[in-house]
Structure formats: structure tokens, C-alpha cells
Amino acid sequence: MNLTSNRNGLTLLQKFTIWTAARYLPIWVIGRDFERVLSFFAVPPNNVFKGSDPKILCDYVVSSTKKPWFMRDRRCLRQGLLAMRFLRKAGCSPVLRFGIDTGSLSAERLSAHCWVEMDGDPIMNTQMDDMIVIYEAQ
């Protein structure tokens, strides 16, 4: 068994770490305020992920969250937090942006979304039409 890399460019340790965090995150966010939830990705680069391809990391985050038993209606937040955590561990400088659909401002329930950008380009999810950015975290 090769622990250094496999056909998709991630090591088994990297895949296991992302997969485990994807399961742990929905439980970890319960009862935490917004600032504490954002601290989930406040991690320094580390040797396990340093130099990893950002696109491959994001692709694996998506595949690790395909069945959202928890955080079902907040998939973009779950994926965004996970992507931010592992992109930062890889030594990247991503930005997590939060937006509100302007069309939902007069509705009973606001429609919100978040996505991750690097160098001004979306890498995890994308900004939806008619979204205005209300918050960003680095």
C-alpha cells in the first residue's frame, strides 16, 4: 500500500484526514457562534499537506461531503470550512466569502451562500447570480 500518493494525487493520510474532518465538522459546529466556527480553519501550514494541489484538495473535499447526513442545508458552509482548513494546511491563502441573494431580501427567509476564492477566482463553489458579499474571512 502506497502511503505517499495515489492516482488522484493525495496520500492515504491526506484522504483519511479530510474524510475524518468532514464527519467531525457537523458535530463540532453545534452550539458554537460564528467566530468560533470560523476558527475551524485557523490552522498553520503543515508538512502533511504542504505543496498539495489546491484543485485536488477541493475535489476531495467535495467527494467527502457528497452524502450530507448533517449540515444538509448548509453544504456550501461545510465544504467551504473544510476547503479553507486544508488549503491553509497546504500553505495557500484562500478567502471564504459569504453572500446573500438580493432577491431573497423581501422573502420570508434569506438565501445565503458561501464560496472559497484564491487569487480572486473561485476554487470551491462559485458566487451565485444576484449575490452580494456581506462578509469575508481569511
pLDDT tens per residue across span 106-127: 888 888 889 999 999 999 988 8
Distance (Å, rounded) from C-alpha 31 to C-alpha 45?
27
Q: Considering the entire predicted model, what is its pTM?
A: 0.88
56-108 pLDDT tens trace: 999 999 998 887 666 566 788 999 999 999 999 999 999 999 999 888 888 88
Q: List the grid coordinates of 20.
A: 475524518
Tell the residue number behind the cell numbers 447526513, with chain if given. 69
